[in-house]
Amino acid sequence: MSGDHYKGIPLELLDALLDNPYESQILIDAEGMVRFVSSQARPYYGGSDAIVGKHIRELNPQSELPRVLSTGKAEIGRLFRLGERERFVARIPLKDKGGRVIGAVGKLLFWHPEKIRELLRELEVLEGRLDYYERELEQIYKSRYTLDKIVGESAAMREAKRMAIQAASSDLPVLITGETGTGKEMLAQAIHNLSRRGKRPMVKVNCAAIPPELFESELFGYEPGAFTGASKGGKPGKFELADGGTIFLDEVGELPAHLQAKLLRVIQDKEVERIGGTKPILLDFRVIAATNRDLKEMLSTGGFRKDLYYRLAIFSIRAPSLREIPEDIPRLAYHFLEEMRKENPRAPRRIEKDAMDRLVAYPWPGNARELRNVLERASLEAGRGPIKEEHLPDEIKRTKDPLDLREDLRTLEQELLEAEKRAIRKALARCGGNKTLAAKLLGIHRTVLYDKLRRHGLQRAKLRS
């Protein structure tokens, strides 16, 4: 050491290094005597200059810094009670060039253990997301739908797409209703991809597939050791995995009433509390729910909570069934054939008219999903040729085209004429055959009534005017 330098380093720089406002540290010699305490650490040891020169155990009987003097091994990231709170500390032995321990330094690593727990929680969430994506990777890439990939140009489909675009412009909850196989999940993915959250996760929860006893742990997660069989490291729930993105609650109408109440609380408060946890976790997610149940009817029977329904149905979108949009069936059928040819280039390219007529006439209780299944089977039977009526299942071949049912129906004009004839007969009967009174009762002029009597062959009705 020479003057105000040590090995060429200014002493004031060394002093600033040891006593900077961002570190709390204490230095002891080989005997355990305190040789230096930073200004940040002084409050934990009485706060006076008399700290230096005392034995560390005199200042803190629980200090474990002397152990490092004897073992010569560093202890990093140990939990230690300092003052009234637990802290994470590092205990590092100091050695001379010969390897002899000549002292030790204790450093405070984190002021608040809660910060460590928060970092651990974030790591668990990231690990959970990785596991989720590894399990769902194939499905995600197969079903990554945007609005332009949803086939259909009927009025009902255009309305559903319009509502989806409107819903995507906000973060409000969305409820998608419709029968099984109508593409509710496709609409949900399209809304997510169009929204500002499109690059964040969309986590799907099948509410009908989760046993009630596992609902909370699956959706809200749990802390280590929260229950028998719990993962040692804890587990983030689906809501945490969806943080920043969208959570898709499929088949939400299947949830039991007591679970609906818990779901409502999470959606309202935007926070979850893991099983076994004591601190709520604030989250940022968007909710899209779907169901094939009639939730409005369930409201009247108590099967679904009104407050949850009105929370979810701020945006309500209905996915139409195929029997409501028969004009979209040819377009959808050729779309499916095109997708099948991507996997099998020899799949049929064309559907003959008689077969398409049957497809359009069939009511499709399984909707688009059933249509695809039928076409996959028919394409196997057709081989490399077009799909013909003979390749379709019997229940579809037996379906009559609506035009073939005309013998069982009357035209609207025929129905109106028959109703008019019944009204005239009834008016005449009520007026005792008086045509003048009957015309007044019917709200028409008497000459108009005479004309209608001739048209309907009722001219022989008695005139009492």
3 pLDDT more than 80: no
Residue 87 to residue 110: CA distance in whole angstroms: 6
CATH no. of 5-111: 3.30.450.20
Query: What's the pLDDT at 226?
Result: 75
Query: What's the pLDDT at 190?
Result: 93
**For residues 220 and 285, is the Cβ–Cβ distance under 8 A?**
no
> What does pLDDT average to over the chain?
84
The CATH H-level superfamily of 412-455 is: Homeodomain-like (1.10.10.60)
Query: What's the pLDDT at 142?
Result: 42
Per residue in 17-46, pLDDT (tens digit) is 888 877 788 999 999 999 998 888 887 776
311 pLDDT more than 90: yes
* Confidence band for 114, pLDDT divided at 50, 70 and 90: low
> Looking at residues 324-332, what average pLDDT do you find?
93
Per residue in 177-229, pLDDT (tens digit) is 999 999 999 999 999 999 999 888 899 999 988 888 888 888 998 887 777 76
Query: What's the pLDDT at 239?
Result: 92
> Looking at residues 382-401, what average pLDDT do you find?
86
Query: What's the pLDDT at 247?
Result: 95
* Confidence band for 84, pLDDT divided at 50, 70 and 90: low
b/e map 238-271, b = 16+ CB within 10 Å: bbbbbbebbbbbbbbbebeeebbeebbebbeeee
Confirm or reject CATH 1.10.287.3510 for domain 328-406, answering yes or no.
Answer: no
Query: What's the pLDDT at 227?
Result: 75
Residue limits of CATH 1.10.8.60 in the chain: 328-406
- HSE value, Cβ hemisphere, 13 Å, CA-based, for 135: 8
CATH class of 117-318: alpha beta
Residue limits of CATH 3.40.50.300 in the chain: 117-318
406 pLDDT more than 50: no
Query: What's the pLDDT at 143?
Result: 43
Q: What is the model's pTM?
A: 0.60
Q: Which two tokens stand for residue 197?
A: 């959250």
Residue 332 to residue 328: CA distance in whole angstroms: 6
Per residue in 411-450, pLDDT (tens digit) is 677 778 888 888 888 888 888 888 888 888 888 888 888 8
Largest interatomic CA distance in the chain: 140
463 pLDDT more than 50: no
Residue limits of CATH 3.30.450.20 in the chain: 5-111
Query: What's the pLDDT at 337?
Result: 93
Query: What's the pLDDT at 414?
Result: 74
| Most confident of the ranges 78-82, 131-135, 231-235, 427-431 | 427-431
Per residue in 223-270, pLDDT (tens digit) is 877 777 667 678 888 999 899 999 999 999 999 888 899 999 999 999
Query: What's the pLDDT at 372?
Result: 94
* Confidence band for 136, pLDDT divided at 50, 70 and 90: low
Closest to 236 in 3D by CA, of 205, 201, 273, 267? 273
Which amino acid makes up residue 34? Answer: V
375 pLDDT more than 60: yes
DSSP 219-279: HHEE-TTSSTT--TT-EE-HHHHTTTSEEEEETGGGS-HHHHHHHHHHHHHTEE--BT--S
Considering the chain, what percentage of its residues have pLDDT values greater than 90? 43
109 pLDDT more than 80: no
Residue 456 to residue 445: CA distance in whole angstroms: 17
404 pLDDT more than 70: no
Q: Which of 57-61, 85-89, 383-387, 451-455 has the lowest mean pLDDT?
A: 85-89
Query: What's the pLDDT at 320?
Result: 93
> Looking at residues 165-182, what average pLDDT do you find?
94
**For residues 38 and 25, is the Cβ–Cβ distance under 8 A?**
yes
Per residue in 336-347, pLDDT (tens digit) is 999 999 888 888
Residue limits of CATH 1.10.10.60 in the chain: 412-455
Q: Which of 92-101, 119-128, 129-138, 301-310 has the lowest mean pLDDT?
A: 129-138
150 pLDDT more than 80: yes
* Confidence band for 464, pLDDT divided at 50, 70 and 90: very low
Residue 334 to residue 340: CA distance in whole angstroms: 10
* Confidence band for 138, pLDDT divided at 50, 70 and 90: very low
DSSP 371-406: HHHHHHHHHHHHTTS-B-GGGS-HHHHTPPPGGGGG
